[in-house]
Structure 1
Amino acid sequence: MLIYSSANPINTGAIGVFDSGYGGLTVLKEIVRKLPQYNYIYLGDNSRAPYGNRSFETVYHYTLQCVQWLFDQGCPLVILACNTASAKALRTIQQNDLPKIAPNKRVLGVIRPTSEIIGTYTKNNKVGILATKGTVQSQSYVIEINKFFPHVQVEQEACPMWVPLVENKEHESHGADYFIRKNVSELLKKDRDIDTILLACTHYPLLKKKIEEYVPVDVTILSQGEIVANSLADYLERHPEIEQQLAQFAHRRFYTTDDTADFDSQAETFFGEPVHSEHIDL
């Protein structure tokens, strides 16, 4: 059983941002750009990544551990900047765990903010999702988009090689073209009228330029970072009881469950500036 402990005074009032690895840094990058005044803690569970092929129960267990750790640091709000964690763990944490361990804190994900607006981008109500196997199997985007835009038809394609390409810094290589072309082609075969494609993994923005080479020029390609940042700004305006708990010193701290040197080397690719992380054990 998780025990809720006292907050770390150094980190108290920060917005927690969690991902299984590095990809959530593309979301944090956009959040900081939109809301630079707040303090942020980023936690990457790199020692247990990737989450994409793990079971619902395992992803839930790992995600809850990381959320609890961020709560213990004093974060009143945690963003799951991970599509797999949002798909497989968010609802259970919100409905079952928060009332018991931290009823005054909040956990938000990346799927709902995207689903709420994606229907405004498509002109012919045909949307494609490029994601990890875990996110596709969860059907989370299909379910959530249908709630807001029941007339929108959603097709999905799992891209199991894309995350390894990015994390091995092969995303700009000629070798990446084969897998990108293959997966994009498979998605468009399912419906040639798709006019909006969502990159439903936080690693995929680093592949966007190559993806654009294999889709028609009139197809809109959406990344999640800016969408989530705008949604968070709106959320804080609507929930002053949370916003008033946030520290505004523009401090950022980065933590990883794996090797810090490796994390810092990879993180700069995703975050766009040098990162200096600290190691934690969970």
Structure 2
Amino acid sequence: MRVDFTKMHGLGNDFVVLDARATPLPAMTPALAKGIADRRTGIGCDQLIVLEPSDSADFRMRIYNCDGGEVGACGNASRAVALLHGVDANVETAGGIIRVQPGDGGASVDMGEPRFVWDAIPLAYPMDTLTMPVGWDGLDAPGAVNVGNPHVIFFVADTDAVPLDQIGPQIENDPLFPERVNVNVATIVDRSRIRLRVWERGAGLTRACGTGACATAVHAMRRGIVDREVTVTLPGGDLRIAWHADNRIEMTGPATESFRGTFEWDDFV
């Protein structure tokens, strides 16, 4: 079975998009997703995106990290899919329904409402998620936010000085986080700008993480150290994050189509 794909990226966070809305595909499996995502023997991507029909929205977006695990949300992929779809749409994800609006060279995405209660992150036991009484190797007193995916956020003097490739896996897999966690280290530049690096659950160090930018911005806003609209600068570029009075998060940023191709489905089964 020959299958079409579109390769896209948002600030260097790259995706293989499979469109199964009109013509169904065989069932996706973790091993198949991992094989397609492999950068040496597959097509190569941080996340595999599968678009499907939906009973509750214009279409459904399923998201698989490069380790084969399915996750609830991906902000950068949402902008890429918005660009590919071409018109405003409601999109069903495992983390809830989001609203995408394509624009000039990118998109705005209504990422929904953040969740702060400990069991919505989820954490293994109750604690205050605004200032958590935990730490790892000099990183301490983080906050936690769920924006479709679980995130833990540390504010540091210099985000580039943190050995995130070493400490990220340790925190991601700590028993405190029963579904693992995305690890964000951020530096507050001023009330309108944040610098951010992210260790992404199931994908590792990434050039950009849309949900991480949303979680970090909202956590900083919740602590009162930035304004309600900020620019988050990641290694791949800038995202604009606003937390509106209705409690919904809006993310705006670029997305790009890289190329299109086909592959033989059975090559990865």
TM over 0.5, shorter chain = no
By percentage of residues, which structure has more helix?
A: 1
TM-score by length of 1: 0.29
Structure 2 length-normalised TM: 0.30
Q: Higher relative contact order by CA 8 Å / sep ≥ 6: 1 or 2?
A: 1
